[in-house]
Amino acid sequence: MLCSEAMAASEAQRAVEAIWRIESASVVAGLARIVRDLGLAEELAQDALVAALEQWPTSGVPEKPGAWLMAAGKHRAIDLLRRRQRLESKQGELGREVEERQGMGTDELDAALDDTVGDDLLRLVFIACHPVLSEESRVALTLRLLGGLTTGEIARAFLVPETAIAQRIVRAKRTLAEARIPFEVPRAPEVTDRLSSVLAVIYLVFNEGYSATAGEDWVRPALCEDALRLGRIVAELVPNEAEVHGLVALMEIQASRLKARTGPTGEPILLLDQNRGIWDQLLIRRGLAALARAEAVGFAPGPYTLQAAIVACHARAPSPDETDWSRIVSLYELLAGIAPSPVVELNRAVAVSMASGPDAGLALVDMLRSEPSLQSYHLLPSVRGDLLVKLGRLDEAHAEFKFAASLTRNARERTLLLERAAACSPSG
Amino acid sequence: MRFMALWRPGPNANPPTENMMAEMNKLIDEMTKAGVMVQTGGWNPASPCTVLKSASGKVTVTDGPYTEAKEVIAGFAIFDVKSKAEAIDWGKRFLQVAGDGTSEMRELVDGQPR
């Protein structure tokens, strides 16, 4: 009896958690608009969640759980504002406004929420990725507020202690409050810059899942899924921004290869060695559609759209031999023109080697060897080793792979590089 | 986690009304905006189903209607969610709009055949 009660309770808790993941961002965003303080809004939303955890197991889950959570949060906001009202008459107006909204019927309330929920979410995205915050704080806050992840889940995803994430989030909220960052969508001249910060945070999360910089596992698909979900949300919030669709296209197509990127024991499998039959065609189709959307909205393609166009070349090729390498080279040239970086140059060199032969690629790679920012980048010696193998210069390749292995912090990748080194040694 | 839901309307279900379709589009829009919906669709009711059966290596192909109303699959959806509980919650929202019937939900396996 006790056992089944406990089971029912834990089932109710799971249901509440699921609903929280779906609704929390809108609830926090809606409350932040009312109280104009992100930290406070999140506290109020948490209070509403606690109330749900107490009441739903016995009362059952309400028919519109999101509206219930929002209403519970607003009740608390009103209480709070009333208390403040006694001190500051200025806030009385705000309190009345909230009260009027509260007096509406459920349908009217829903309609009001529907009208503003998109704008509220957009404000939440922009404030969570505000440039005043450090990059790691932006990531933590975005996953927490928009992704609905707990601090524990974020900590596990990034392999850091939960206390560190909790502190990061507390610090971030304090920074936003102290800097008096308004809860608003940035104005037109700013919006592109601010959006690029949002997209950078999402892509950072994706990449940490796609090729983990540290730890035992080479890929952590859950992080990719979180990033994809965030990207899809933002794409619907700002459908006229080409680069959002470019980023979504890039992530969908890259994610389509997740299953093919690791072997039976979790070892990495590189792009040209992958079994293309298990690439996820549904994600590829979604990615190509997002790319088409990006190209339809934008005039000149931005960096994400160009990268998406590059991965799309691979997605369209039934086999490695059928890859349109000359198109990839020209896309990298465009990318180097608008977003020059040594990493782009390295990738261009790889494409050139595929289009025009390893000699041509190696000449470009060698020009990058003095590049200071690539001194500890393991992919430089790794690519160089690969080209040297193709040129039959195995001794040099061996040394490059060993050097690359010493530079990576990822265990799986190190093993792969050491294997490649061993395969090049005279005895191997 | 990716789930696929198959929708079988109840035996006494009425054809979908305009209002219901509007509500359904609203839900699909909401799921898309939440980054959850991967793909959804329905079957063309005017096109009868074709059944392929394999027994002892022999494949027979039968055209024709379903034998029982309860077997009619009217639509499907594939969505990306964080947990089974979340999949169930979206499923409940779907049923609130779709009415009586059964939604069969299965987790799609991730990973290559080995």
Domain count across chain B: 1
Task: Classify residue B32: in a domain, yes or no.
Answer: yes
Does A15 contact B at CB distance below 8 Å? yes
Query: Across the A/B interface, how many CB contacts are shorter than 8 Å?
Result: 60
Tens digits of residue pLDDT in A242-273: 999 999 999 999 999 988 888 888 788 889 99
- pLDDT band at residue B113, thresholds of 50, 70 and 90? very low
A233 vs B: CB within 8 A = yes
Q: Do B80 and A228 touch (CB under 8 A)?
A: yes
Q: How far apart are CA B65 and CA A253, in angstroms?
A: 38
A10 vs B: CB within 8 A: no
B41 touching A (Cβ < 8 Å): no
B33 CB neighbours in chain A (<8 A) are 118, 233, 236-237
* Token code pair at residue B72: 């009619």
In Å, how far is B80's CA from the nearest CA of chain A? Answer: 8
d(CA A110, CA A113): 5
pLDDT digits (tens, 9 = 90+) for B66-88: 656 556 788 999 998 988 999 99
pLDDT at A105 over 60: no
Tokens representing A218? 């080479």
DSSP state of A370: T
The secondary structure of B4-70 as a DSSP string is EEEEEE-TTPPPPPHHHHHHHHHHHHHHHHTT-EEEEEE--TTS-EEEEEEETTEEEEEEE--SSGG
User: Where residue A290 falls among pLDDT bands split at 50, 70, 90?
Assistant: very high
Which among A171-185, A313-327, A406-420 has the top mean pLDDT? A313-327
Measured between CB atoms, does B107 come within 8 Å of chain A?
no
**Considering only CA atoms, which of A381, A414, A383 is closest in space to residue A399?**
A381
* Predicted confidence (pLDDT) at residue A376 exceeds the cutoff of 70: yes
Q: Is A63 exposed, middle or buried (0-12, 13-18, 19+ CB in 10 A)?
A: exposed
Task: Assign A113 a pLDDT band (cuts: 50, 70, 90).
Answer: very low
Chain B residue whose CA is closest to A221: B1
**CB distance B94 to B86 below 8 Å:** no
pTM for the full predicted model: 0.80
How far apart are alpha carbons A226 and A161 in whole angstroms? 20
A219 or B112: which leads in pLDDT: A219
Task: Identify the band that residue B114 occupies on the pLDDT scale cut at 50, 70 and 90.
Answer: very low
Tokens 């915050």 found at: A133
The pLDDT of residue B47: 73
| Tens-digit pLDDT profile for residues A377-388 | 899 999 999 999
pLDDT confidence of residue A115:
47
B chain contacts of residue A261, beta-carbon cutoff 8 Å? none
Say if residue A111's pLDDT is above 50. Answer: no
Q: Is residue B15 part of a domain?
A: yes
The answer to whether residue B65 sits within a structural domain is: no
**Is B14 part of a structural domain of the chain?**
yes
For residue A103, what pLDDT is reported? 47
The residues near B22 (Cβ < 8 Å, ≥ 6 apart) are none
Tokens of A327: 């198109």
What is the rounded CA–CA span in Å between residue A177 and residue A123?
15
B98 is a domain residue: yes
**CA–CA distance, B70 with B113 (Å, rounded to integer):** 33
Pick the range with the lowest mean pLDDT from A106-110, A124-128, A144-148, A190-194: A106-110
Q: Is residue B51 part of a domain?
A: no
CATH code assigned at B82: 3.30.70.1060
Q: Do B85 and A259 touch (CB under 8 A)?
A: no
How far apart are the CA of B34 and the nearest CA of chain A, in angstroms? 5
For residue A120, the one-letter residue type is D
Chain A residue at shortest CA distance from B110? A259
What is the domain extent for residue B96? 2-44+70-108
Task: Return mean pLDDT, chain B.
Answer: 85
Residue A344 — very low, low, confident or very high, per pLDDT cuts 50/70/90?
very high
B27 found inside a domain: yes
What percentage of residues in chain A have a pLDDT greater than 90?
A: 46
Highest mean pLDDT among A54-63, A322-331, B2-11: A322-331
- Indicate whether B40 belongs to any domain: yes
The pLDDT, as a whole number, for residue A57 is 83
Q: A4-62: per-residue pLDDT in tens? A: 667 666 777 788 888 888 888 889 999 988 888 888 898 999 999 999 988 888 888 88
Instruction: Give helix then strand counts, H and E, for chain B.
Output: 2, 6
B114 touches chain A (CB under 8 A): yes
